[in-house]
Chain A
Amino acid sequence: MNLDEPFREPAICTPLVEEIHRSLHNVSAPLRIMEVCGTHTVSVFRHGIRTLLPRQITLLSGPGCPVCVTPAGHIDLCLQAAQQQDVVLATFGDLLRVPGSSGSLADARARGMARVQVVYSPMDALELAQQDAAIQVVFPAIGFETTAPTIAATVLAAEQLGVENFFIIPLAKTMPEALMLLLGDAQLKFSGLLCPGHVSAIIGAAAYQPLVERFGLGCAVAGFEPADILAGLLALVQQQSRGKAQVDNCYPRAVSQAGNERAQALLAKVFMPVASEWRGLGNIPASGLALREPYQRFDAVQRLQLTAHSVPDPPGCRCGMVLKGMIQPPQCPLYGSRCTPLSPIGPCMVSAEGTCAAYYKYSGSRCSETGSKKSGDNGAC
């Protein structure tokens, strides 16, 4: 049985929707709420949540899709690795179509220039390395706090098993530093933050307290079922109505105050914080995870002598503004015309959880036919 099933019941969701409408009576200003995580963006569309909310609430998508915030230069690193003799790049599927400066991994594979294999977990990549000593398996470690502990565990397993032909490209990122930077931008004027349930399960609800203290911004940690999201939104509306910002944990079945301390210990053992480049947000200090000294022999960048270059965003691409919640995807001039999921220009159009891809899938290029393409508000077009 799917344990999340009750959180989709209309009997639970409908009263939450009604309560959101009622609670908004005391709030005069429009509410700009950022849903940080790509899974939230998709779930909002999938369940038609925007169509149930008062028009006063605008949901903006944030930088919480790992593929989207990966700059072209990092894709180039993966391409460089995949094109080397005897290297098999074992990667999550949604990285395949992300454009680097000279095409995507899927392009390189189709032209026979790179060996790329889709895996579902870093452990699968390690297994691949164990099965064939003649190849060097490289796993691009792209992801947030949710994915990084599994990657750390895989590195530890590779060490214990003495696997010599498994490497990672350490590109994982951590969320709090990016949020701190984003919320510090006075232009953006968010009223509240729907905090990512998966990341919060690792880092804990308390991790958002500094945001409340520093920016006076309401935070609600929410899961991904409709009732979870609605409960999170209701908490943010009620904070506004009471005029008091705090961290509300609306996902207690998965998230504790302190988070998953075992996973945190694993991360701290294998990785150390370094500056990392985010697409659209630039270089953010202490927001990346590099391998600590004892594990650096697993670093593909050193081992295969990969060289990172900074690559400017493609002309006209506004992924950066989308990732900061400054615009909604249909407001980008490339959206739906030159940039589509089949031939994406920016990364937000690639991953199923990318903001632009989610808009495209659920509200379509056909938005323009209904005349609401540029309005970018609550309508599901």
Chain B
Amino acid sequence: MATPTYITLDHGSGGLVSQELINTLFLKYLRCPQLRDLEDCALLDGFSGQLALSTDSYVVDPLFFPGGDIGKLAVHGTINDLAMRGARPIALSLALIMEEGFEIARLEQIIASVAAASEAAGVAVVTGDTKVVPRGKADGIFLNTSGIGAVEYRVFISATNARPGDAVLLSGSLADHGITIMTAQAGLAVDGDLRSDTQPLHRMVATLLDEVEDAVHVLRDPTRGGLATALCEIASSSKVEIEIDEECLPIRPAVSTACELIGLDPLYLANEGKCLVICSPEEQDRVLNIMRSVEEGADAVCIGRVRGERPGRVNLRTRIGGQRLLEPLTGQPLPRIC
């Protein structure tokens, strides 16, 4: 019998066809010994302190885009969510829901990418699941990853922990992921290099906490909803005002041009490899230098300051000296007519 080139309902049955897919494709790339045993769950050890647990689903369209793909995104996204509470990521789970008819060659590309990203990050996929739904009941493939991490630092890192006087630092340029996906969906060709910024941030966070643990108050990756929404959440959770300087915001020219073309605001577009660090003002320069010493934070800058005056507000000082209030994103950003 010829090997099928696309996913059938049999691949999700749990029977022999499923087994064959696992053995020939998944285990070819994902080489964690725990996974090979095909037990019902993975047993983990080698950590102390509090556990951190996070989960995220990935439905990005297109599946492959400049700078990454759904597999890479699924690994980095969950690792970053763990890192944002100061946790050291230990292990990941991977669940797939596929639509009948999905090409096996594309599945293989995605799994190879998951494996490469997980190996590069040093966080293994230790358990997994595959389901197949009839054609038309899903859009190609959806991924879910969950991750477990260990909180090994004393410090309390939380969106509730920003304090008046704190510095607001950003690890690099804004909106790269969001605009790459939007232009890909629109089929727009924009001059200049648009690439997703998807990357794991746990190593930068670990370096930071190893050296200046007490100085760091808030870590947040501004993913969906962008920088503006992340800042609004922090201002509201911490009951502080945040003031941001537009002049300091790093936005690459190609990104800014593409945003204007489609009519989108870069402050509201997703980032997948950037992190806000809110830290005590005394240690601001040290924190910045540490961030800049690693590749993920090479372009780190100070973008503003936390104030105590009007809790919940995020204020942007525009380049020309005006004031603008930043509100959280309300719905899906829609491209405009003119």
Mark each residue of chain B from 302 to 335: 1 if its CB lies under 8 Å from any CB of chain A, else 0: 0000000000110011111111110100110111
Q: Is the CB of A352 within 8 A of B327?
A: no
Q: Which residues on B sit within 8 Å (CB–CB) of A241?
A: none
A42-77 contacts to B (CB < 8 Å): 45-52, 66-67
Does residue A115 face the partner (Cβ distance < 8 Å to B)?
no
Q: Which of B188, B262, B323, B331 contacts A380 (CB 8 A)?
A: B323
Residue of B nearest to A48 (CB): B322
Q: Which of B319, B322, B336 contacts A353 (CB 8 A)?
A: B336
Q: How far is it, in angstroms, between the C-alpha of A363 and the C-alpha of B323 when the chains are bound?
A: 10
Does residue A252 face the partner (Cβ distance < 8 Å to B)?
no
B332 to chain A minimum Cβ distance, whole angstroms, is 9
Does residue B338 face the partner (Cβ distance < 8 Å to A)?
yes
Known contacts A1-B253, A340-B330: does B335 contact A47 (CB below 8 Å)? no
The residue among A51, A361, A362, A364 with the most chain B CB atoms within 10 A of its own CB is A361
Q: Which of B320, B325, B331, B336 contacts A10 (CB 8 A)?
A: B320
A249-284 contacts to B (CB < 8 Å): none
Q: How far is it, in angstroms, between the C-alpha of A265 and the C-alpha of B121 when the chains are bound?
A: 59
Q: How far is it, in angstroms, between the C-alpha of A361 and the C-alpha of B327 when the chains are bound?
A: 6
Q: How far is it, in angstroms, between the C-alpha of A380 and the C-alpha of B323 when the chains are bound?
A: 8
Does residue B263 face the partner (Cβ distance < 8 Å to A)?
yes
Q: Is the CB of A92 within 8 A of B319?
A: no
Q: Which residues on B sit within 8 Å (CB–CB) of A47?
A: 318-320, 322, 324
Q: How far is it, in angstroms, between the C-alpha of A93 and the C-alpha of B186 when the chains are bound?
A: 11
Q: Is the CB of A144 within 8 A of B338?
A: yes
A322-381 contacts to B (CB < 8 Å): 340-342, 351-353, 360-364, 366, 380-381
Does residue A13 face the partner (Cβ distance < 8 Å to B)?
yes
Does residue B13 face the partner (Cβ distance < 8 Å to A)?
no
Q: Is the CB of A380 within 8 A of B324?
A: yes
Q: Is the CB of A362 within 8 A of B327?
A: yes
A275 to chain B minimum Cβ distance, whole angstroms, is 22
Does residue B256 face the partner (Cβ distance < 8 Å to A)?
yes
Does residue A102 face the partner (Cβ distance < 8 Å to B)?
no
Q: Is the CB of B337 within 8 A of A92?
A: yes
Residue of A nearest to B331 (CB): A342
Does residue A226 face the partner (Cβ distance < 8 Å to B)?
yes
Q: Is the CB of A124 within 8 A of B187?
A: yes
B137 to chain A minimum Cβ distance, whole angstroms, is 13
Interface size class of A (residues with CB under 8 A): 35 or more
Q: Which of A1, A8, A147 contacts B337 (CB 8 A)?
A: A147
Q: How far is it, in angstroms, between the C-alpha of A340 and the C-alpha of B327 when the chains are bound?
A: 13
Q: Which residues on B sit within 8 Å (CB–CB) of A4?
A: 260
A7 to chain B minimum Cβ distance, whole angstroms, is 10
Q: Is the CB of B322 within 8 A of A49?
A: yes
Q: Is the CB of B327 within 8 A of A48?
A: no
Does residue B289 face the partner (Cβ distance < 8 Å to A)?
no
Q: How far is it, in angstroms, between the C-alpha of A351 and the C-alpha of B263 when the chains are bound?
A: 11
The residue among B256, B319, B333, B338 with the most chain A CB atoms within 10 A of its own CB is B338
Known contacts A51-B322, A360-B327, A363-B325: does B262 contact A120 (CB below 8 Å)? yes
A252 to chain B minimum Cβ distance, whole angstroms, is 20
Q: Is the CB of B324 within 8 A of A45?
A: yes
Q: How far is it, in angstroms, between the C-alpha of A38 and the C-alpha of B325 when the chains are bound?
A: 19
Q: Is the CB of B336 within 8 A of A93?
A: yes
Q: Which of B256, B320, B333 contacts A48 (CB 8 A)?
A: B320
Q: Is the CB of B335 within 8 A of A93?
A: yes
Does residue B23 face the partner (Cβ distance < 8 Å to A)?
no
Does residue A318 face the partner (Cβ distance < 8 Å to B)?
no
Q: Is the CB of B325 within 8 A of A381?
A: yes
Q: Which residues on A sit within 8 Å (CB–CB) of B50?
A: none
The residue among B186, B188, B318, B327 with the most chain A CB atoms within 10 A of its own CB is B318
B187 to chain A minimum Cβ distance, whole angstroms, is 7
Mark each residue of chain B from 68 to 82: 1 if its CB lies under 8 Å from any CB of chain A, else 0: 000000000000000
Q: How far is it, in angstroms, between the C-alpha of A124 and the C-alpha of B321 when the chains are bound?
A: 40
Does residue B5 face the partner (Cβ distance < 8 Å to A)?
no
Q: Which residues on B sit within 8 Å (CB–CB) of A363?
A: 325
Q: Is the CB of B330 within 8 A of A8?
A: no
Does residue A246 face the partner (Cβ distance < 8 Å to B)?
no
Q: Which residues on B sit within 8 Å (CB–CB) of A92?
A: 335-337
Q: How far is it, in angstroms, between the C-alpha of A92 and the C-alpha of B153 when the chains are bound?
A: 50
Known contacts A10-B319, A340-B330: does B325 contact A118 (CB below 8 Å)? no
Q: Which residues on A sit within 8 Å (CB–CB) of B327?
A: 360-362, 364, 366
Q: Which residues on A sit within 8 Å (CB–CB) of B263?
A: 352-353
Does residue B293 face the partner (Cβ distance < 8 Å to A)?
no
Mark each residue of chain A from 69 to 101: 1 if its CB lies under 8 Å from any CB of chain B, else 0: 000000000000000000000001111110000
Q: Is the CB of A48 within 8 A of B338?
A: no
A87-127 contacts to B (CB < 8 Å): 92-97, 118, 120, 124
Q: Which residues on A sit within 8 Å (CB–CB) of B316?
A: 48
Q: How far is it, in angstroms, between the C-alpha of A226 and the C-alpha of B320 when the chains are bound?
A: 8
Known contacts A341-B330, A342-B330: does B321 contact A14 (CB below 8 Å)? yes
Q: Which of A8, A51, A93, A124 contacts B334 (CB 8 A)?
A: A93
Q: Which residues on A sit within 8 Å (CB–CB) of B322?
A: 47-52, 380
Instruction: List 5 A–B pairs whose Cβ atoms lie within 8 Å, in order of A's numbering.
Output: A10-B320, A51-B323, A226-B318, A362-B325, A366-B327
Besides A46-B318, A118-B335, A340-B330, 8 more A-B contacts (Cβ < 8 Å) are A17-B320, A47-B324, A48-B323, A50-B322, A93-B334, A118-B334, A120-B262, A142-B337
Top 6 A-B pairs, shortest CB-CB distance: A48-B322, A93-B334, A13-B320, A48-B318, A93-B335, A48-B324
B-side residues, CB < 8 A to A, are 186-188, 253, 256-257, 260, 262-263, 265, 312-313, 316-325, 327, 330-331, 333-338
